[in-house]
């Protein structure tokens, strides 16, 4: 994988602030976009723009075909069938859709390490219990076993934590849930961008992720539904494209997945997501993973060596993916983020990263977070570590 | 005086000075003495300290050394206060591009240095205070309280700072100090570690400072913006009423909102000894409304987190007297020094921060200075702080209007409760107005009066809104200007 060539695809890295390039370490929040994805968007507007499924004219047909081809691309990306792919706005909407539409009794099991998006939707109208984490920060499967003793409708877990970057044992979680007759939803917002996902091998019932965290535009996300489960789901939003026939007072519903995509969807977003997936597939997800892991190993090694920096979660690089969370003693996380930004344009996150319960569970305040992706280089990590060392060891 | 403040002021603080290296009380006493010096004596003191800090920065701070060498300036060249103009100004970008190791003194003991930064995510500046500077700043705080409003340590104090989103975004991320423990203190003293004992007392007092000060903090207005529900205003007033603070501090808009409410509804005001702004300064109109509503004295102070307490008001309320023993402030109009009373930008030199010298720091405020003796007994120059540089408007004839002036212009209209003026492209202005209850926005009248007040060519459009949103850090910007770089 030729990282300089990849960087060349991202116009943002040509930008200079105070004469210096940007070091973007906030890909866990959203990624930068390659020229290929930007071009797909402008090409769509320039050549194919039309509403889908509603016209016999050339543009509408082209647009519909591009949109459905995008669905197939997404399906292949996670080894699903195209009928199992619902386009939504983002991970958050996908989870809300499942929590609103899924019929059935029993508690929901979430975990303390979830993003607020995989906590709050469940609490709205159901009983929720929270699985704890183990000493390394991963989901505690023993605790899960205990909590599954109560009748459970669904277990909702994150594949990779957006705070600790730890890869959770989702296969074990799914196996335990299955044994107890519970369904599973995997939040792949932080994993789908970095590693190959095979929903069939994983065995989950629902899987969700966002396009904007994997080179695509904001406003397009994916909900995978294991096909048989559509029968256990109520309609979601109603309106255009959710029905086959409408009469005043009655209707015949459309087939899934279309019936879950009410109104005009984010057509260009879906098409651009497919283009992002093509971009990643050209690189090869195994190469993406290897690159991200190598960066993580380097970052862990450099950060561990700095006095006064406290790292959270397991320090074994094989446990982790792409996210590293820390604090500098005697200095608030926002201060750290400010200094990195103002001195070297190193853009990192600071705060609770939408996972306040996890911070509470770890007994820590807000944290600073660096996250990496395909366009980041070892040199950038060296630069950040050097500067961080200066700040942390200064006082 | 009540018993607790008496103990704090007569016993605890002097004892801390006597027995530990925490010399707040001694410094405070020395500062109060300097308040009785003549302007000439103060200037002499400034010159001595300025020459020392410039020499120190040149010899020990890489950033300043390079700066001075690149223009061939030597510390010896600074012979008078006016010579400071030969040193190039230091911008926030300069500071942050070199922070921390390039902008701090080499070869010093850093063990008791502290990072300082305003809380909140927006302000883009950080600083470092060494132990002496922290002590001085603590003393300067006591001095400002004493001189402006006669508030003494231990009297009840209530504050309403602007920071919103304190829990969800985790804005309050400052380091927490160690609690004071008698056991640990005894151990340290027994072991003969008096330095350690002193440090422990300092850390302990520092972490307890809110309790020691009887200081209570109320939450900010939050994301609702300027116009919070009436019931919220009532509950703020109830909290103030039941605590009866001697000192009430709050974001200017908060204090102004309470004052307007008290006057409009004719409700009795809570009993408060003195009111001061926090996180911004009051405009003359705000001061007048607040003083009338609460029936108490309103004092101003001036400072910022990276430097510290810099100046405070006197009972004459004609600007804040600079702490000239601690800071040097120049007011500049374009590329020349402003005359007394003339508008300009402030450049601040911290005469006491040895760890991280700030020399001709462009602090980002605009205002005027006055050096005449107005008879209050304090001879430090007076500063009239009128807003931020980036909130200053300039009209087509090149005349400047500070945010204070513009604020007071709009608030003099009976139909405007709150507003925000944004300069779009040159000559075009967008005005958001929250109308006073039961009033209509007079679009024509506003446009006509604004043209007369500001610029005959100004094209202003007014829109009615329900509230004006705060900026990221919870503070408000009522004027968003463009042309200020000419100032
Ligand atoms: C693990 C995880 N889940 C869910 C989300 C929410 O994603 P979105 O904001 O795209 O809905 C995020 C985004 O930060 C995440 O990291
Ligand atoms: Zn005076």
Which one of B97, B104, B169 has the shortest CB-CB distance to A343? Answer: B97
Number of domains in chain A: 2
Same domain, A251 and A374: no
> Does residue A9 fall inside a structural domain?
yes
pLDDT, tens digit, for every residue of A17-69? Answer: 989 999 999 999 999 999 999 999 999 999 999 999 878 899 999 999 999 99
- Domain boundary (A282, A315, A331) is at A282
The alpha-carbon gap from B263 to the nearest alpha carbon of chain A, in Å, equals 40
- pLDDT on residue B197: 79
Question: Considering only CA atoms, which residue is closest to atom 13 of ligand 1?
Answer: A29
In the reported structure, the alpha carbon of residue B400 is separated from the centroid of ligand 1 by a whole-number distance in angstroms of 47
Q: At A14, which CATH number?
A: 3.90.1150.10
> Does residue B259 fall inside a structural domain?
no
Q: How far apart are CA A32 and CA A375, in angstroms?
A: 9
Same domain, A20 and A76: no
Q: At B416, which CATH number?
A: 3.30.300.30
- pLDDT on residue B175: 41
Q: Is the minimum CB–CB distance between B356 and chain A shorter than 8 Å?
A: no
> Does residue B382 fall inside a structural domain?
no
Which one of A329, A334, A390 has the shortest CB-CB distance to B173? Answer: A334
Spatial CA neighbour of B367 closest among B334, B313, B395, B331: B331
Same domain, A276 and A290: no
Q: Which residues from chain B sit within 8 angstroms of residue A386, using beta carbons?
A: none
- Domain boundary (A282, A299, A314) is at A282
Same domain, A55 and A84: yes
> Does residue B446 fall inside a structural domain?
yes
Looking at residues A379-390, what average pLDDT do you find? 96
Q: What is the pTM of this model?
A: 0.86
Sign of the dihedral through C-alpha A305, A307, A309, A313: positive
φ, ψ for residue B114, nearest 5 deg: -130, 140
Q: Which residues from chain B sit within 8 angstroms of residue A338, using beta carbons?
A: 96, 117, 124, 126
Same domain, A254 and A374: no
Same domain, A120 and A200: yes
- pLDDT on residue B163: 66
- pLDDT on residue B187: 84
ipTM: 0.77
> Does residue A32 fall inside a structural domain?
no
Q: How far apart are CA B100 and CA B98, in angstroms?
A: 6
Regarding the beta carbon of A191 and ligand 1, being less than 6 Å apart is answered: no
Write the CB contacts of B339 (distance below 8 Å, at least 6 apart in sequence).
none
Same domain, A275 and A325: no
Same domain, A226 and A99: yes
> Does residue B455 fall inside a structural domain?
yes
> Does residue B406 fall inside a structural domain?
yes
SS3 state at A378: helix
Same domain, A215 and A302: no
B positions 58-97 inside 8 Å of A (CB)? 93, 96-97
Residue of higher predicted confidence among B123 and A117: A117
Domain hosting residue B411, numbered range? 392-486
SS3 state at B367: strand
Q: At A118, which CATH number?
A: 3.40.640.10
Residue A2 burial class via C-beta count within 10 angstroms: exposed 0-12, middle 13-18, buried 19 and up = exposed
What Rg do the C-alpha atoms of chain A give, in angstroms? 22
- pLDDT on residue B472: 73
- Domain boundary (A282, A299, A326) is at A282
Q: What is the mean pLDDT of chain A?
A: 95
- pLDDT on residue B173: 40
Residue of higher predicted confidence among B213 and A155: A155
Regarding the beta carbon of A111 and ligand 1, being less than 6 Å apart is answered: no
Same domain, A240 and A356: no
> Does residue B300 fall inside a structural domain?
no
Q: How far apart are CA B226 and CA B350, in angstroms?
A: 34
Number of domains in chain B: 1
Sign of the dihedral through C-alpha B442, B448, B454, B456: positive
- pLDDT tens digit at each of 487 positions of chain B: 577 777 777 777 777 777 767 788 999 999 999 999 999 999 999 999 999 999 999 999 999 999 999 999 999 999 999 999 999 999 998 998 899 999 999 999 998 898 887 655 455 688 999 999 999 999 999 999 999 999 988 899 999 988 644 433 333 444 445 677 778 888 888 888 877 777 777 777 767 777 777 888 898 888 789 999 999 999 999 999 999 999 999 999 999 999 999 999 999 999 999 999 988 889 999 999 999 999 999 999 999 889 999 999 999 999 999 999 999 999 999 889 999 999 999 999 999 999 999 999 999 999 999 999 999 999 999 999 999 998 999 999 989 999 999 999 999 999 999 999 999 987 899 999 999 999 999 999 999 999 999 999 999 999 999 999 988 778 899 999 986 677 7
pLDDT category of residue A199 using cuts at 50, 70 and 90: very high
Same domain, A270 and A358: no
Say yes or no for a CB contact (<8 Å) between A366 and B170.
yes
- The helix (H) or strand (E) run that includes residue A86 is strand A85-88
Spatial CA neighbour of A152 closest among A104, A119, A118: A104
- Please, what is the Cα angle at A165 between A160 and A171, to 5 degrees? 30
Same domain, A126 and A249: yes
Q: How far apart are CA B484 and CA B487, in angstroms?
A: 5
> Does residue A215 fall inside a structural domain?
yes
Active site residue A333: no
SS3 state at B132: helix
Preferred mutation among A334, A335, A338, A363 to probe B, highest tally of B CBs within 10 A: A334
> Does residue B430 fall inside a structural domain?
yes
Asked whether A95 and A208 are in contact (CB, 8 A), the reply is yes
> Does residue B463 fall inside a structural domain?
yes
Looking at residues A109-130, what average pLDDT do you find? 93
Q: Is the pLDDT of residue A278 over 70?
A: yes
Contact residues of A toward B, CB < 8 A: 18, 329-335, 338-339, 342-343, 350-352, 356, 359, 365-366, 390-391, 394-395
- Please, what is the Cα angle at A94 between A91 and A98, to 5 degrees? 140
The alpha-carbon gap from B63 to the nearest alpha carbon of chain A, in Å, equals 14
Domain hosting residue A344, numbered range? 3-27+285-392
């Amino acid at each position: 994988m030729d990282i300089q060539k990849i960087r060349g695809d991202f116009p943002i890295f040509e930008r200079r602030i105070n004469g210096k390039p940007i070091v973007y370490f906030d890909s866990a929040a959203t990624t930068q976009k390659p020229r290929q994805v930007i071009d797909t968007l402008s090409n769509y507007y320039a050549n194919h723009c039309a509403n889908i499924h509603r016209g016999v004219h050339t543009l509408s047909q082209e647009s519909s075909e591009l949109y459905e081809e995008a669905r197939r691309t997404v399906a292949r990306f996670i080894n699903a069938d195209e009928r199992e792919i619902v386009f939504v706005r983002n991970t958050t909407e996908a989870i809300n859709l499942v929590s609103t539409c899924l019929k059935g009794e029993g508690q929901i099991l979430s975990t303390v390490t979830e993003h607020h998006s995989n906590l709050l939707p469940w609490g709205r109208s159901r009983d929720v219990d929270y699985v704890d984490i183990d000493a390394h920060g991963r989901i505690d499967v023993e605790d899960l076993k205990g909590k599954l003793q109560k009748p459970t409708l669904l277990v909702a877990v994150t594949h990779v934590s957006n705070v600790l970057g730890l890869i959770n044992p989702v296969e074990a979680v799914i196996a335990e849930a299955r044994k107890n007759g519970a369904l599973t939803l995997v939040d792949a917002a932080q994993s789908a961008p970095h590693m190959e996902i095979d929903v069939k091998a994983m065995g989950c019932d629902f899987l969700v992720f966002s396009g904007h965290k994997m080179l695509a535009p904001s406003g397009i996300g994916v909900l995978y539904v294991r096909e048989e489960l559509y029968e256990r789901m109520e309609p979601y939003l109603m309106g255009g494209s959710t029905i086959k026939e409408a009469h005043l007072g009655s209707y015949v519903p459309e087939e899934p997945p279309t019936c879950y995509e009410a109104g005009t969807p984010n057509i260009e977003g879906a098409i651009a997501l497919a283009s992002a997936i093509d971009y990643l597939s050209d690189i090869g997800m195994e190469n993406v993973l290897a690159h991200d892991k190598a960066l993580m190993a380097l970052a862990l090694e450099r950060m561990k060596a700095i006095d006064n920096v406290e790292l959270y979660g397991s320090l074994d690089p094989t446990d982790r993916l792409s996210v590293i969370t820390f604090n500098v003693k005697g200095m608030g996380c926002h201060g750290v983020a400010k200094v990195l930004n103002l001195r070297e344009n190193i853009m990192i996150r600071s705060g609770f990263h939408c996972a306040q319960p996890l911070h509470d569970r770890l007994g820590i305040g807000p944290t600073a977070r660096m996250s990496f992706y395909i366009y980041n280089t070892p040199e950038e990590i060296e630069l950040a570590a050097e500067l961080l060392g200066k700040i942390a060891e200064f006082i | 005086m009540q018993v607790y403040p008496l103990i704090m002021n007569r016993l605890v603080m002097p004892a801390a000075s006597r027995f530990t290296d925490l010399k707040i009380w001694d410094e405070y006493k020395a500062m109060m003495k300097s308040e009785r010096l003549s302007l000439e004596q103060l200037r002499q003191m400034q010159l001595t300290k300025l020459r020392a800090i410039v020499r120190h920065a040149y010899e020990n701070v890489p950033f300043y050394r390079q700066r001075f060498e690149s223009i061939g300036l030597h510390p010896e060249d600074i012979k008078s206060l006016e010579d400071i103009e030969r040193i190039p100004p230091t911008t926030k970008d300069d500071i942050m591009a070199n922070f921390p190791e390039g902008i701090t003194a080499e070869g010093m003991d850093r063990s008791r240095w502290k990072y300082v930064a305003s809380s909140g995510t927006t302000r883009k500046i950080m600083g470092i205070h060494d132990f002496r500077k922290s002590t001085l700043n603590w003393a300067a705080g006591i001095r400002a309280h004493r001189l402006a409003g006669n508030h003494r340590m231990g009297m009840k104090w209530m504050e309403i700072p602007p920071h919103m989103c304190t829990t969800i975004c985790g804005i309050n991320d400052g380091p927490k100090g160690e609690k004071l423990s008698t056991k640990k203190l005894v151990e340290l003293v027994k072991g003969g570690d008096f330095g350690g004992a002193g440090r422990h007392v300092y850390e302990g007092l520092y972490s307890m400072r809110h309790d020691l000060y009887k200081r209570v903090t109320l939450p900010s207005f939050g994301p609702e913006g300027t116009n919070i529900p009436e019931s919220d205003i009532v509950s703020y007033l109830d909290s103030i009423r039941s605590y009866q603070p001697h000192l009430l501090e709050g974001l200017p808009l908060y204090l102004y909102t309470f004052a307007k409410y008290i006057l409009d509804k004719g409700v009795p005001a809570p009993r408060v000894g003195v009111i001061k702004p926090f996180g911004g300064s009051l405009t003359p109109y705000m001061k007048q409304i607040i003083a009338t509503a609460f029936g108490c004295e309103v004092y101003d102070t001036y400072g910022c987190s990276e430097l510290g307490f810099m100046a405070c008001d006197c009972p004459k309320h004609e600007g804040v007297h600079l702490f000239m023993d601690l800071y040097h402030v120049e007011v500049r109009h374009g590329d020349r020094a402003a005359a007394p009373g003339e508008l300009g930008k402030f450049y601040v030199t911290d005469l006491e921060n040895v760890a991280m010298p700030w020399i001709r720091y462009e602090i980002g405020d605009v205002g005027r200075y006055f050096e005449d003796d107005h008879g209050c007994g304090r001879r430090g120059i007076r500063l009239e702080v009128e807003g931020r540089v980036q909130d200053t408007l300039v009209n087509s004839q090149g005349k400047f209007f500070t945010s204070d002036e513009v604020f007071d212009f709009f608030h003099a209209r009976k139909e405007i409760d709150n507003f925000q003026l944004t300069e779009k492209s040159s000559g075009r202005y967008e005005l958001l107005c929250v109308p006073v209850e039961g009033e209509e926005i007079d679009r024509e009248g506003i446009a006509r009066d604004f043209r007369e007040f500001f610029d005959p060519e100004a094209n202003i459009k007014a829109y009615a809104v329900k509230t004006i949103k705060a900026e990221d850090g919870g503070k408000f910007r009522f004027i968003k200007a463009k042309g200020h770089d000419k100032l």
